[in-house]
Amino acid sequence: MDEPRRNFTSLWPGVALFDLDGTLVDSAPDLAAAVDQMLESLGRPPAGPDRVRQWVGNGAQVLVRRALTGQVEWESAAPLDEVLFNDASSRFYQSYESLNGSHSTVFDGVEACLQRLFENGCRMAVVTNKPERFVRPLLESMGLEHWFETIVGGDTLPVKKPDAEPLLTAMQKLDGNPGTTVMIGDSAADATAARNAGLPSVLVRYGYNYGSSVDELGADVVVDSLTELL
Ligand SMILES: O=C(O)COP(=O)(O)O
Ligand SMILES: [Mg+2]
């Protein structure tokens, strides 16, 4: 039987690990524009933001693989030509480098939540699957960078979420321990990473999660806005 859900008060954290895309920032417009530039430069039809939102969450390389196969479950599609994949990846990276942040927005409730956690002495990190070089520029253009003491990106370590390691690395940097640390995200990758790390998780319903509901992922708390945590 599943454990009963705890409320956030019982989880009130000393360390909060935040996912980035789909949790703090609605970055899908820029990711979609970069994916579409890449596809169009290869002579393919654009995918559009609604489909691209479903492809975000496992890092840039998987995003490119999903875009080229047109499938979330890219591994069950026909194998990709690796020369095409490498070419598409560098086109995507080049486009995203110049678009990153330009049409992204901070989700409602994020600032208030970060402010309150900070006032309560909580130390905060971003643990994202987004390649590290895109993370700080995005946080800076959203005016969020000052809240976070450390960042772990999708290529900072040899593994990324849903592996536990990125969460444990950030937690240790902030002198946290599993009893006082919470992961806050929007997808199955976040919920599974938290479980693998032995940490409680909070999931938001407004994020990406491959187009599926986050209610049945076994998170300790599920919210429509981070202000519900306050
Ligand atoms: O780059 C991605 O796929 C998104 O990363 P995030 O949801 O872990 O922030
Ligand atoms: Mg996310």
For residue 230, name the pLDDT band (cuts at 50, 70, 90). Answer: confident
- Which atom of ligand 1 is nearest to 58's Cα? 3
ipTM over 0.95: yes
Alpha carbons 223 and 210: distance in angstroms, whole number? 17
Identify the helix (H) or strand (E) that includes residue 182.
strand 181-185
**Ligand 1 pocket check for 100: Cβ under 6 Å:** no
Contact 170, 157 (CB under 8 A): no
**What average pLDDT score do residues 25-36 get?**
98
Query: What pTM was estimated for this model as a whole?
Result: 0.94
50 is in an annotated binding site: no
Last residue of a domain, one of 65, 99, 133: 99
Per the structure, the count of domains in the chain is: 2
CATH code for position 94: 1.10.150.240
Is 19 an annotated catalytic residue?
yes
**Ligand 1 pocket check for 19: Cβ under 6 Å:** yes
Q: Which domain holds residue 216?
A: 8-27+104-229
**Ligand 1 pocket check for 20: Cβ under 6 Å:** yes
Residues 63 and 112 in one domain: no
pLDDT tens-digit map of 73-114 = 999 999 999 999 999 999 999 999 999 999 999 999 999 999
- Residue 21 CA to ligand 2 center (angstroms) comes to 4
Residues 58 and 166 in one domain: no
Q: What angle (nearest 5°) sits at the alpha carbon of residue 217, between those of residues 54 and 16?
A: 90
